[in-house]
């Protein structure tokens, strides 16, 4: 579907003198970013993919829009859904441009990329944001023989008197914990560190 000439409205003259020259495509890129804010992690609905920090780059030219996403946990089944949803959302903002969404692996996504809004969304969903409760960062080796205690804050009562039940929660990116203070089980979003 390449249909360019005359299809989009003529670019409007800027209403006010611009301090900096606007790159061609920049307005489209901003519109796409905005649209991507409405795409949510299918496994954690309050969390948008921009707040999760997986949108690395949006580039727009006259013909196409390219979106680079950083996968969180490779093999996460949500990735296909996210790709589809991001494509759909971007199509609206892209006008006649062709939209390509691809996963890139550099730089690797780390949980540091989650925005403060994203951490709030995790908490509202009952998931403890990674790296919180902080004296030690909870590195979780692939095989956990002992059950590390404490160090993760309960999203319900705020206590740190918690125990890691399983490094493998219901999805790849989650861990399961138990709070000894309020006796609630809860899940954590697995920290992922660089290096």
Q: Which residues bind Zn ion (CB under 5 A)?
A: 154, 156-157, 159, 179, 181-182
CB 140 within 8 A of CB 175: yes
Question: Which among 25, 23, 52 has a CA at the least distance from the CA of 121?
Answer: 52
Q: Which CB sits closer to Zn ion, 22 or 181?
A: 181
Q: Which CB sits closer to Zn ion, 40 or 119?
A: 119
Q: Which CB sits closer to Zn ion, 97 or 177?
A: 177
Q: How far apart are the C-alpha atoms of 187 and 154, rounded to whole Å?
A: 9
Cα-based distances in Å from 104 to 45, 153, 170: 23, 32, 25
Angle separating helix axes 78-94 and 26-36, nearest 10 degrees: 140
Report the DSSP pairing between strands 98-103 and 64-69: parallel
Q: What is the smallest separation between the CB atom of 192 and Zn ion, expressed in angstroms?
A: 24
Q: Which CB sits closer to Zn ion, 45 or 181?
A: 181
Q: What is the smallest separation between the CB atom of 159 and Zn ion, expressed in angstroms?
A: 5
Q: Which CB sits closer to Zn ion, 34 or 183?
A: 183
Q: What is the smallest separation between the CB atom of 195 and Zn ion, expressed in angstroms?
A: 32
Work out the number of other CB atoms within 10 angstroms of the CB of residue 56: 15
Q: What is the smallest separation between the CB atom of 133 and Zn ion, expressed in angstroms?
A: 11
Q: What is the smallest separation between the CB atom of 153 and Zn ion, expressed in angstroms?
A: 9
């Amino acid at each position: 579907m390449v249909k360019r000439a005359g299809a989009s409205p003529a670019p409007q003259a800027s209403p006010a003198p611009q301090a900096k020259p606007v790159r061609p495509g920049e307005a489209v890129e901003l519109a796409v970013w905005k649209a991507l804010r409405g795409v949510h992690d299918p496994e954690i609905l309050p969390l948008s993919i921009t707040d999760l920090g997986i949108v690395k780059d949006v580039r727009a030219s006259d013909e196409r829009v390219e979106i680079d996403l950083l996968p969180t946990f490779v093999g996460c089944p949500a990735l296909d859904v996210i790709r589809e949803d991001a494509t759909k959302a971007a199509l609206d903002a892209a006008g006649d441009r062709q939209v390509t969404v691809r996963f890139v692996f550099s730089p690797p996504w780390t949980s540091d990329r989650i925005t403060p809004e994203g951490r709030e969304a995790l908490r509202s969903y009952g998931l403890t944001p990674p790296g919180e409760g902080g004296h030690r960062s909870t590195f979780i080796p692939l095989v956990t023989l002992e059950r590390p205690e404490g160090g993760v804050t309960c999203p319900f009562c705020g206590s740190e008197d918690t125990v890691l039940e399983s490094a493998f929660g219901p999805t790849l990116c989650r861990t399961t914990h138990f709070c000894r203070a309020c006796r609630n089980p809860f899940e954590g979003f697995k920290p992922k560190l660089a290096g």
